[in-house]
Amino acid sequence: MRDTRAFGNSFLLPSGYLRQAQWDIFGVPTLFEVLSRMPRSLVAVSLAFFSFTAAAQRHSTQDALVHLNQIQVIGTHNSYNTGFAPSEGKYFQEHYAKAYHGLEYHHQSLPQQLDAGVRQLELDIVQDPQGGRFANPKIVGLTEQEGLPADPDFDPNHDMRKPGFKALHLGDLNERSSCQLFVQCLQAIRTWSQAHKGHVPIFLLIEDKQGRVSQLPDAVVAEPWTADTWNAMDAEIRSVFPEKEIITPDKVRDKFPTLEAAVLAGKWPTLKESRGKVVFLLYNRKSAPAYLADHPMMKGRVLFVNGRPGEPEAAFVEQDSGKPAEIDALVKKGYLVRSRSDYNTDQGRNNDTTRRDELLGSGAQMISTDFPVSERAPWTGYTVGLPGGYAARCNPVNAPDGCKTMLIEPGVKTQEPSPSNKP
């Protein structure tokens, strides 16, 4: 095998061709001279390697400049929800038509969504420390009473009988999840992350569910969350994701007096510092005080709470129905914003992309939908995705000048979103 020598600090060529080449005034062979004496096949390989190396250098340079709040990604609403089985859907539609209208969607497994370019996932969580609280949904008996065919078992592995946090939508009515135990959801996400270590940070929106969580008058009630519950939540997350793989409030705040002060100073991690990691966000604003109790300045906590400007813990601001101008003002200051492009399946049924297109032009870092590009609305084909089929792109509002979307998550392409349509 030929020996090689470095060329231009990044380009390797067989040394025999270097000996035959003319040398420039600095004692280095010119690229033209080297290539002119090489076989065409080796020229092609060498140029390809040179191109790859240059692209890698550009990628590394941009990663050190672009921060995680300067990108934009697509998320899914109730990401765990696999929808209704046939008889359950028929019963729900007949008895709760209005509610069913807004729930007629379903999602693939979490890893499949990540494969399709989704980078923000939402998990609704109930606590069930004893196990079994949600193991016998009433809708199974209700469909049987109406003479409807039996649906497949929603819990063949009896996971709902086990103690621990559960991912579900509506107790007794809509409990089918691609990962029924919260820890299973986390494990699925981390397994995918470990297999795709160059991914941009995955944003995980957590919604705690307490009290009544269903339309049924006598439906099971979710237990209230206590300080011990929140501690258990953080512990369960850390049992799956090691500290080095989580972007926490402590890491962002660092030496600043408050988290908001750090965010307003532009101290979100860069992509170089956050690739292959996850960010946990708490959706319910009313749950923040309980989560922050005994944790001043969020010290030791995993989740970023849903804050508002002026609050010391403000870093993430939910703007589900926010107007683009309001969202952009927050983003320009440094806050992380999540918003929704569609509600209650209406845009999917009407193929109305007005809201979607407004948000795609805004600075919202996370745009959540029931219909990502891999899950078209069955009525119209409506989908939400980033132009060009990218999994992530330079933020339209606050990305630094010269930011190249093709370098945000190189080599990852999904489908184009459905064409714009404004009925």
Tell me: the pLDDT tens digits for 264-281? Answer: 999 999 999 999 999 999
- Strand-pair partners of 232: none
pLDDT at residue 58 in the model = 72
pLDDT reading at 285 higher than 50: yes
266 contacts 67 by C-beta, under 8 angstroms: yes
pLDDT reading at 53 higher than 50: no
Question: Region 300-310: what's the mean pLDDT?
Answer: 98
pLDDT category, 33, cuts 50, 70, 90? low
Structure tokens at 145: 């009473």
Relative to beta strand 392-394, strand 71-76 is antiparallel
pLDDT digits (tens, 9 = 90+) for 177-220: 999 999 999 999 999 999 999 999 999 999 999 999 888 888 99
- In a 13 Å sphere around the CA of 166, the CA atoms on its Cβ side amount to 29
pTM, two decimal places: 0.87
- In a 13 Å sphere around the CA of 378, the CA atoms on its Cβ side amount to 4
pLDDT at residue 9 in the model = 37
Mean pLDDT of the chain: 90
pLDDT at residue 216 in the model = 86
Angle of helix 86-95 relative to helix 138-145, nearest 10 degrees, comes to 80
pLDDT category, 2, cuts 50, 70, 90? very low
pLDDT category, 12, cuts 50, 70, 90? very low
pLDDT category, 150, cuts 50, 70, 90? very high
**Rounded distance, CA 74 to CA 203, Å?**
10
Contacts of 146 (CB under 8 A, 6+ apart): 91
**Rounded distance, CA 79 to CA 77, Å?**
5
pLDDT reading at 310 higher than 90: yes
pLDDT at residue 56 in the model = 56
pLDDT category, 132, cuts 50, 70, 90? very high
Q: What percent of the chain has pLDDT over 70?
A: 87
pLDDT at residue 409 in the model = 96
pLDDT at residue 60 in the model = 85
**Rounded distance, CA 51 to CA 241, Å?**
36
Q: How far is CA 377 from CA 40, 75, 348, 388, in A?
A: 50, 16, 5, 20
pLDDT digits (tens, 9 = 90+) for 340-381: 999 999 999 999 999 999 999 999 999 999 999 999 999 999
Structure tokens at 106: 């379903």
pLDDT reading at 21 higher than 50: no
